[in-house]
Amino acid sequence: MNSSVFATWLEQISQLPGLFMTGTDTGVGKTWIGTRLLQHLRQLGVQITPRKPVESGWSTEQITETDTWKLALAASGFQALNQVCPNRLLAPLSPPRAAQLEGKQLSIQQLAEQCHKNYKPPSFLYVEGAGGFYSPLANDGLNADLAATLKLPIVLVSEDRVGCINHILLSVEAIQARHLDLVGIILNPLQPAPLGMDNQQDLQALLDLPIIRWT
């Protein structure tokens, strides 16, 4: 990661009202990247309101392993978990499916209202989705629908691997089709890169967007 490029980008991010963090898929490291991004923003003096409106696969026995706990801790350590994540679902399935198993219904409007509850500008509103941009999030919509309702700038996270360019370009097209502001793409190297692979360079030739490879 080019430290000077990242510092410039981070300064620009810190001036925004908030972010919607999404991914190309489940398991690409949104929370891992998000917690570190929030830590960097705090070092710049940014006050943060974290929101993970839905988390499925919730474990009451291992709360410190949940995405919600990690985001709350990264934001300040003094965030009430029921405010950070008002919908904590047991089954490790898509949120609407997990909610159905508990006899619950989720709506995009409900989730949007929960994101704004007890939020007071100019605090930085950080909202993390569940799964990929087009993954189901509620009974009546996708992560994309919540992002469109909140109208927050978007950061897209992808695993940095062979084949990710296709997933990234499809996600970028979907985000732009909804006229949302995509402010950066973060490549997360979960595995050692094959010799010669440089997705950052290849993507930069295709997209006029900040492309950051997290290291």
Instruction: Report the DSSP beta bridge partners of residue 20.
Output: 127, 154
- Closest among 83, 88, 62 to 72, alpha carbons compared: 83
Residue 185 to residue 79: CA distance in whole angstroms: 27
One-letter amino acid at 70 equals: K
One-letter amino acid at 12 equals: Q
Residue 5 to residue 116: CA distance in whole angstroms: 31
Per-residue DSSP letters for 98-136? HHHHTT----HHHHHHHHHTT--TTSEEEEEEEEETTSE
104 noted as active-site residue = no
Among residues 52, 104, 120, 151, the one annotated as catalytic is 52
Would you name the residues annotated as active-site residues? 52
